[in-house]
Structure 1
């Protein structure tokens, strides 16, 4: 298993990378250092620049400016086929006239690997993705999940310095996608292959990544571990895009010491903040308490292992998620008070939008 230490020298570096198509700026001032063995996800909505960035790393697009280095070497003038990268596309891009084994062997043939070594590496790669016995099967006779495994084996068999994944699970149904997420992470950890995943699926990024690069409109909004990015979003965009969140309008009152006040809820205020602020709290971090922000349950929904409550408060609407622990839950129309720990919230200056 890889250590994923970012104290090591970066394997891949992007410095001030930008890409423009005419007057449209697709990627602007992208900076990232990727450690050996790290699993990075580029996460964001369609059109945010994540795929464009991946294509610049792969060499399919040339940066308008900036530098991309792999193991200290500038990739700008290196042909895509010479970069030593493995790529899995959203469409898998398997050759329909080739068997699974022939598809996996294709990159090794381009590398002029001997026939005997090629056969052994293909066998091992297919076994690694759970496709032993499928060597002679053509893609048209394979399920979507099996085709995805062949594409992954084809990318890994060449022993790439970096594995690039362009939304490879998006064509799978929800159950199979979850299974493949687990398998992909296990394979990546076992091999220690540095991996960059492009995805718009927040759950996928949270479950697979060592770090997440959240992008919006061609720019990086935040880089951090899944836990840090989820629990301490640096902007309103990150808070809203990476799962559900509640934004409450609050204010800073008093001085020496000042307090954050939201209705009947309050807590010590950080130094340097004043005036109106916005409190962001994840739904599962809010509880019902005897004291706190007054509200009323507008609706409640039973979702099996938890309850979801929609509440109205003077500081804004709220979604509360509470576990189904067998205890009595407040009913619709019931008055409640909402409370949360200061460490479970993030703050930003200005009123909630």
Structure 2
């Protein structure tokens, strides 16, 4: 039995379909991210799990029981919002303690659990500090401690790191994943940040226009995108048309001056999708010219003009000489590093 199950859940606001036929099973202790652009339905789905919105149809079950029949305050879920939603007049300890007070936990146990929760997020000694005297990262930790101190069955995170600067956000991603793994808390994160989703998740649910585009591990959705949307939303990708040449034996997949053996079952015109970091410069391959090159510290980013249109290439900064702007090049990649789909269809 799955721990948390969403079964064809949908939400309509009048004629507008915010979420359509959303089905997902989540294992106990799993970290799931809902990833997609603004307006794709990810926060609406999270709010239906939390009980802040009622589904228009479908079922949500937690350990086999109907979660929709349980009021939000009794669902036992921990929630961290984008704004943190801390009480400004309360100290860090009082903020963390609030949920335990509502559950009528004894004062002795409450104080012990609050101290432990703040220590867990690296805020031991900050018990008496008010939010206004804390940095954004410290406030985020208080919000996380408040959600975890009630020992939730599921932790719901609604873009909790989006207000932090880039360096602090990266540090908090590492800490959040470590805390989640140590506690084994089932966690669902809403984010529009692809790197965040891939860094934290066991599985990612990629969403677009209220529907699920793909569910898979970070590596699966990145390496084998199920649709053009997934390929383009998760990082950079190059796409160009190729045709299958059946006049040769064996059949060849051809794109300009590049060709490779055609996979079984592939025919007609297809779209090739290749990530920039999987393309190299070689003696043969797709003919092109370096239109520009950009040094990014740990890597070089090349914009190439080719027979099949513009192609982006990313190569590591390993101290080796790199092609200069204007230099002719040949682009090559391995068959296992590309995805194919019928022109206009899924891979």
TM-score by length of 1: 0.96
Partner deviation per Cα, 1:244-287 (whole Å, 9 max, x = no partner): 00002111111663221112222222222211111000000000
Distance 1:101 1:63 in 2: 35
Distance 2:205 2:268 in 1: 31
Distance 2:298 2:167 in 1: 18
Distance 2:261 2:244 in 1: 9
| Equivalent in the alignment of 2:120 | 128
1:74 pairs with 2:66: yes
| Equivalent in the alignment of 1:345 | 338
For residues 204-353 of structure 1, the aligned pairs below 5 Å read 204-254=196-246, 257-350=250-343
3-state SS, counterpart of residue 236 of structure 2: coil
3-state SS, counterpart of residue 52 of structure 2: coil
TM-score by length of 2: 0.97
1:83 pairs with 2:75: yes
Partner deviation per Cα, 1:128-186 (whole Å, 9 max, x = no partner): 00000110111111111000000000000000000000000000000110000000000
Q: Return 5+ residue gaps in structure 1 as ranges.
A: 1-8
Instruction: State the 1:351 CA deviation.
Output: 6.5
Distance 2:151 2:283 in 1: 59
3-state SS, counterpart of residue 317 of structure 1: strand
Partner deviation per Cα, 1:183-234 (whole Å, 9 max, x = no partner): 0000000000000000000110010000000000000000000011111111
3-state SS, counterpart of residue 68 of structure 2: coil
1:112 pairs with 2:118: no
**RMSD, matched Cα:** 1.1
Asked whether the 8 Å contact 1:250–1:351 carries over to 2, the reply is: no
Asked whether the 8 Å contact 1:276–1:351 carries over to 2, the reply is: no
| Equivalent in the alignment of 2:95 | 103
Residues paired across the two proteins, number: 344
Distance 1:22 1:257 in 2: 55
Asked whether the 8 Å contact 1:44–1:216 carries over to 2, the reply is: yes
Instruction: State the 1:306 CA deviation.
Output: 1.1
Distance 1:257 1:336 in 2: 27
Given candidates 127, 142, 153, the residue that maps to 2:145 is 153
| Equivalent in the alignment of 2:57 | 65
Could you list the structure 1 runs, at least 4 aligned residues long, displaced by more than 3 angstroms after superposition.
none
Distance 1:165 1:332 in 2: 45
Distance 1:314 1:276 in 2: 16
